[in-house]
Structure 1
Amino acid sequence: MANIKDLLKSAGCQPAHSILNAAGELGKKENMQVYAVGGFVRDLIMGKPLNDIDIMTVGEGIPFSEKLAHKLGLKKVVPFKKFGTAMIPNKEIQIEVATARTESYAENSRKPSKVVYTDLKGDLLRRDFTINAMAMDIHPDRFGELTDPFGGIADIEKRIIRTPLDPDETFSEDPLRMMRAAYFSSKLGFEIEKKCLKSIQQQSQRIEIVSWERIRDEFIKVLVTEEPSIGLVIMQKTGLMETVFPEIHAMYGIEQTSEWHHKDIFSHTLQVV
């Protein structure tokens, strides 16, 4: 099993290191398994800036978050009892604590209809992409040990976006993940695995069950990446654009009459953004 604690030292983010040490010590005291997970681990491995910390507990996360906040000298905890999660506002680096869980979804909603607490692997299995389905143990005796059951590191090396589960299941449960695939492709410059891309094409209309606010927020995230055109092309080719932004989709194939512009309006828009 790989150990990535040296990456944390070389990242030079002392606040993150201190918080994880404190959380690991608390986990040992409470006899709980505690991990850093998700985007934090991905960004640590990739050498990206560490902007927030995702902590996962095997056991009740909200009481743990309250004890952790006290240990860190932070006064406020914002709990979300339905999901067993909590935010700990912190000026230096944001902290989220979540109970390891699995989720079930109604057919016409991306919001979980049932949340069941589970173990480490069960929690990682429900995540959107393999690159976000890794965990770093922060228990003092095992600090830095990496759990990577679905090949997240290999996919980072190959620069591929892939789902832990069958993509049809992953995208059907939460269709917003289709837009997140486009976002991560833009943000990281990764390619979406062919099987995942085909699944998005087949399920693109299912994005309609997602609230407009969530679609808007995810679209803005694509636009503010360094290469937004990558995500926009993915949305266009998979049918997502036609479903969520038909006005932009309508630009595709429409030639411009100006002698200065020789591309269709959609292609010209990609150059502008």
Structure 2
Amino acid sequence: MRKPMKVKFDYFFERHKIIFYTVSILLFVSLIIYGYFLFKGVNLKVSPSMVGVIGAVIGAIVAGVLALFGSIYVHNNQMKSKSAIFRKNVIYKPLYDELIEIKNILKEKNPYPTYVTFSKGQQTLTPHPQFSAWGRIKNDSRLIQTPQYLADGFEKLYEAVYEYLNGFSDACTDIQDKINEILFEKHNTKCTIQNLGSAVISDIILKKKPRGTLLKDYIDPYALESRKSITDDELLELDDLVYEECHRLESVKRLIVSYNKWLDKQDELITTLRTLIKLISIKYEKHSEKY
């Protein structure tokens, strides 16, 4: 999802509006001066009293029009300000805060999470992503005030998350089968841990464990069918084979693609929401970015 051009322009204008106003005033003054010198040599046969009357009438009309447009502008600006601040506080900020929280969970605590929930509840020992803000907003009147591009962006994000979840169980099953296949081929045994695939999938994809430690906590005599002991050298060989063979699995490749798609959609929304919140703060609440 890309930010609409109007949002980009409004944000750019609010940050540089003093320059815009200055240039506009200079252009207007230059136009007046140019017109003065252009018509300076024209002789019109109009009496001074008539000039005064015409000037007074024009001045009254201009003053009345400016006053009317000024009052309309102030009123409209007040309404726009209230509406924008409302959307910022009850739509944009809850969505932004939740996405930032989820991003931090995925980055620091639980990459490639085993499960994701779409309601707010009690967190587990290892935090997992909880999407709830958009579900609440789309089911009440706030949806009417949500820009369509933002609603479309969240629907695409949820599609990416569901795609990830649908592929996660397949990848875990294939990883577990591949580990047992390697164990049987090399040591004529299999691991009896039922959720081994989901336990090691993140470490396998990210390759973040030191060599020889990937399966160390799971491969022991009590977890193997034959009660066979695996030496440290054999664990090194197992880790190398598991990393190599599991990264060749099509289900794992698809999972990596869907996970990166999730992150991309999420980052796009975070950037858009951050821009909207900053724009409203600068434009309507007159907050400075300096403090």
Q: How would you bin the TM-score normalised by the shorter chain?
A: under 0.3
* TM-score of the two chains, using structure 2 as the length reference: 0.19
Q: Which has the higher helix share?
A: 2
When Rg is computed on C-alpha atoms for both structures, the one with the higher figure is 2
* TM-score of the two chains, using structure 1 as the length reference: 0.20
Q: Which has the higher contact order (CA 8 A, sep 6+)?
A: 2
